[in-house]
Amino acid sequence: MEESGFAVKRGRGGVVSFLAPGQDKYTRLRASTLGAGFDPEDIRAVIAGERPLPELPKNAPPPARQVGLIIDIQKRMAEGKGPAYERWAKVYNLKQMAAALQFLQENNLTDYDALAAKTTAAVDRAHALAGELQTTEAALSKVSGLMGAVVDYAKARPVFDGYKAARYSKKYLAEHEAELATYRAAPGRYE
């Protein structure tokens, strides 16, 4: 880690902390904060090649805060909420309505026709972006297939060279039939 530019600090009890370039505070290395698979012994085993890298959790980012819908106070009171909840819900609803009104005023959407035009434009843009996204995904899928074909071709090329060096021996063909079939099929996937 020191060779990579990290400052390493060793504390009492075998605690190890790292300071990345541009970072203000040290980050302590321990499994209780970093998760399973990040003990010093685990990291040494990964570096030595005795163990694969641990799987990292894929946390979704929190959704952006938006203006929410107002609360149906009468319905909630019928469900058994108390007077304190009623006061809180009234204030919450006022804040939501004020935020919505502020958004409309900041974007000059106080006229219904302007709001409808802006909504139509946003929907059209969303549909256009969805179409572009599908086109891009199709192109990426095609490129991914081409990359797979190139990799298959490159992996099977030495086998074909050996087959050619063996002067197209039937014995060599029988031993490496699957690799040679992959080699011959790869150029057909380029198109």
Quick one: tokens of 125? Answer: 């843009």
Residue with tokens 């990290």: 6
Give the pLDDT confidence of 48-76 residue by residue, as tens digits.
Answer: 888 888 777 677 666 655 666 788 999 99
Count of Cβ atoms closer than 10 Å to residue 163 Cβ: 19
Please state, in angstroms and rounded to a whole number, the distance separating the CA atoms of residues 23 and 40.
21
pLDDT of residue 39: 76
Residue 123 in contact with residue 131, Cβ under 8 Å? no
pLDDT of residue 61: 66
Q: Tell whether pTM > 0.85.
A: no
Please state, in angstroms and rounded to a whole number, the distance separating the CA atoms of residues 71 and 94.
10
Average pLDDT, integer, range 156-174: 93
pLDDT of residue 29: 77
Give the pLDDT confidence of 101-121 residue by residue, as tens digits.
Answer: 998 899 888 899 989 999 999
3-state secondary structure of 5: coil
Please state, in angstroms and rounded to a whole number, the distance separating the CA atoms of residues 92 and 95.
5
Taking phi over 0 as left and psi of -120 to 50 as alpha, with beta for the rest, 41 belongs to alpha
Residue 99 in contact with residue 67, Cβ under 8 Å? yes
Higher pLDDT, 80 or 186: 80
**Which of the four pLDDT bands, split at 50, 70 and 90, describes residue 186?**
confident
**Which of the four pLDDT bands, split at 50, 70 and 90, describes residue 191?**
low
Higher pLDDT, 164 or 6: 164
Residue 176 in contact with residue 159, Cβ under 8 Å? yes
Residue 18 in contact with residue 11, Cβ under 8 Å? no
- Name the packing angle between helices 112-165 and 177-185 (round to 10°): 130
Residue 10 in contact with residue 26, Cβ under 8 Å? no
Mean pLDDT value across the chain: 87
Average pLDDT, integer, range 34-55: 79
Quick one: tokens of 2? Answer: 């020191």
Taking phi over 0 as left and psi of -120 to 50 as alpha, with beta for the rest, 187 belongs to alpha
User: What residues does each domain of the chain span?
Assistant: 7-48, 68-119, 148-190
